[in-house]
Amino acid sequence: MQRSASVDPTKMGIGRAIAVLTSGGDAQGMNAAVRATVRVGIYTGAKVYFVHEGYQGLVDGGDNIRQATWESVSMMLQLGGTVIGSARCQDFRSKEGRAKAACNLVKLGITNLCVIGGDGSLTGANEFRNEWSELLQILLKAGKITAEEAKRSSHLNIVGMVGSIDNDFCGTDMTIGTDSALHRIMEVVDAITTTAQSHQRAFILEVMGRHCGYLALVTALSCGADWVFIPEMPPDEGWEDHLCRRLTYHRSIGHRLNIIIVAEGALDRHGKPITCDIIKNLVAKKLGFDTRATILGHVQRGGTPSAFDRILGSRMGVEAVMALLEATPDTPACVVSLSGNMAVRLPLMECVQVTKEVTKAMAEGRFEEAVKLRGKSFENNWNTYKLLAHVTAPDVKSNINIAILNVGAPCAGMNSAVRSAVRIGIIQGHNMLAVHDGFDGLAHGTIEPVDWGYVGGWTGKGGSILGTKRSLPASMIEDISLNIAKFNIHALVIIGGFEAFVGGLELVTAREKYEELCIPLVVIPATVSNNVPGSDFSIGADTALNTITTTCDRIKQSAAGTKRRVFIIETMGGFCGYLATMAGLAAGADAAYIYEDPFGIHDLETNVEHLLEKMKTTVKRGLILRNEKCNANYTTDFLFSLYSEEGKGVFDCRKNVLGHMQQGGTPTPFDRNFGTKMGAKAVLWLTDKLKECYRHGRIFANTPDSACVLGMRKRAMIFQPLSDLKEDTDFEHRIPKTQWWLKLRPILKILAKYKINLDTSETATMEHVIKKRGAV
E strands within 187-287? 202-207, 227-229, 258-263
**Which of 258, 338, 370, 383 has the alpha carbon at shortest distance from 676?**
383
What is the longest distance spanned by two Cα atoms in the chain? 91
Whether residue 723 is annotated as binding a ligand: the answer is: no
**Which of 256, 553, 221 has the alpha carbon at shortest distance from 413?**
221
Whether residue 299 is annotated as binding a ligand: the answer is: yes
Angle between helices 414-427 and 376-389 (to 10 degrees): 60
* Coil, helix or strand at residue 502: helix
Instruction: Annotate 416-436 with three-state secondary structure.
Output: HHHHHHHHHHHHCCCEEEEEC
Whether residue 573 is annotated as binding a ligand: the answer is: yes
Whether residue 166 is annotated as binding a ligand: the answer is: yes
Whether residue 720 is annotated as binding a ligand: the answer is: no
Whether residue 654 is annotated as binding a ligand: the answer is: yes
Distance CA 230, CA 232 (A): 6
Angle between helices 376-389 and 669-692 (to 10 degrees): 70
Whether residue 678 is annotated as binding a ligand: the answer is: no
Whether residue 542 is annotated as binding a ligand: the answer is: no
Name every residue whose Cβ is closer than 8 Å to that of residue 176 and which is 6 or more positions away in sequence. Answer: 27, 28, 29, 30, 32, 33, 116, 161, 162, 163, 164, 309, 312, 313, 316
- Fill in the amino acid letter for 296: L
**Which of 626, 644, 643 has the alpha carbon at shortest distance from 635?**
626
Whether residue 530 is annotated as binding a ligand: the answer is: yes
Classify residue 576 by burial, with Cβ atoms within 10 Å: 0-12, 13-18, 19+.
Answer: buried
Whether residue 264 is annotated as binding a ligand: the answer is: yes
- Characterise 497 by phi-psi region: left (phi > 0), alpha (psi -120 to 50), beta (else): beta
Whether residue 734 is annotated as binding a ligand: the answer is: yes
* Coil, helix or strand at residue 772: helix
Distance CA 58, CA 60 (A): 6
Whether residue 208 is annotated as binding a ligand: the answer is: yes
Angle between helices 541-562 and 307-326 (to 10 degrees): 80
CB burial of 664-692 (b: ≥16 within 10 Å; e: otherwise) equals ebbbbbbbbbbbbbbbbbbbbbbbebbee
Whether residue 118 is annotated as binding a ligand: the answer is: yes
Helices (H), 635-765: 636-646, 669-692, 722-725, 745-751
Distance CA 712, CA 291 (A): 40
Whether residue 430 is annotated as binding a ligand: the answer is: no
Whether residue 29 is annotated as binding a ligand: the answer is: no
DSSP letter string, 337-382? EEETTEEEEEEHHHHHHHHHHHHHHHHTT-HHHHHHHT-HHHHHHH
CB burial of 473-509 (b: ≥16 within 10 Å; e: otherwise) equals beebbebbbebbeebebbbbbbbbbbbbbbbbbbbbe
- Dihedral pair phi/psi, residue 671, rounded to 5°: -70, -35
* Coil, helix or strand at residue 162: strand
Whether residue 155 is annotated as binding a ligand: the answer is: no
* Catalytic hit among 166, 173, 179, 671: 166
Whether residue 527 is annotated as binding a ligand: the answer is: yes
Whether residue 528 is annotated as binding a ligand: the answer is: yes
Chain-centroid distance, C-alpha 646:
39
Whether residue 25 is annotated as binding a ligand: the answer is: yes
Whether residue 319 is annotated as binding a ligand: the answer is: no
Distance CA 331, CA 325 (A): 11
Whether residue 531 is annotated as binding a ligand: the answer is: yes
Whether residue 708 is annotated as binding a ligand: the answer is: no
Name every residue whose Cβ is closer than 8 Å to that of residue 103 and which is 6 or more positions away in sequence. Answer: 61, 139, 144, 145
What letter does residue 668 receive in the DSSP assignment? P
688 among known catalytic residues = no
Q: Yes or no: say if 7 and 759 are a contact pair by the CB < 8 Å rule.
A: no
Distance CA 217, CA 219 (A): 5
Whether residue 161 is annotated as binding a ligand: the answer is: no
Q: Yes or no: say if 735 and 300 are a contact pair by the CB < 8 Å rule.
A: no
Q: In the beta sheet, which residues pair with residue 541?
A: none
Q: In the beta sheet, which residues pair with residue 206?
A: 262, 295
Whether residue 186 is annotated as binding a ligand: the answer is: no
Whether residue 298 is annotated as binding a ligand: the answer is: yes
Q: Yes or no: say if 129 and 136 are a contact pair by the CB < 8 Å rule.
A: no
Whether residue 662 is annotated as binding a ligand: the answer is: yes
First to last CA, the chain: 23
Name every residue whose Cβ is closer than 8 Å to that of residue 303 and which is 6 or more positions away in sequence. Answer: 28, 80, 180, 183, 184
Whether residue 57 is annotated as binding a ligand: the answer is: no
Whether residue 98 is annotated as binding a ligand: the answer is: no
Whether residue 13 is annotated as binding a ligand: the answer is: no
| Active site residues per annotation | 166
Binding site for substrate: residue ranges?
164-166, 201, 208-210, 264, 292, 298-301
Binding-site residues from annotation for Mg(2+) = 119
Which residues are annotated binding-site positions for beta-D-fructose 2,6-bisphosphate? Answer: 470, 527-531, 565, 572-574, 628, 654, 660-663, 734
Binding-site positions for ATP read 25, 88-89, 118-121
Q: Pick out the residues of the known binding site.
A: 25, 88-89, 118-121, 164-166, 201, 208-210, 264, 292, 298-301, 470, 527-531, 565, 572-574, 628, 654, 660-663, 734
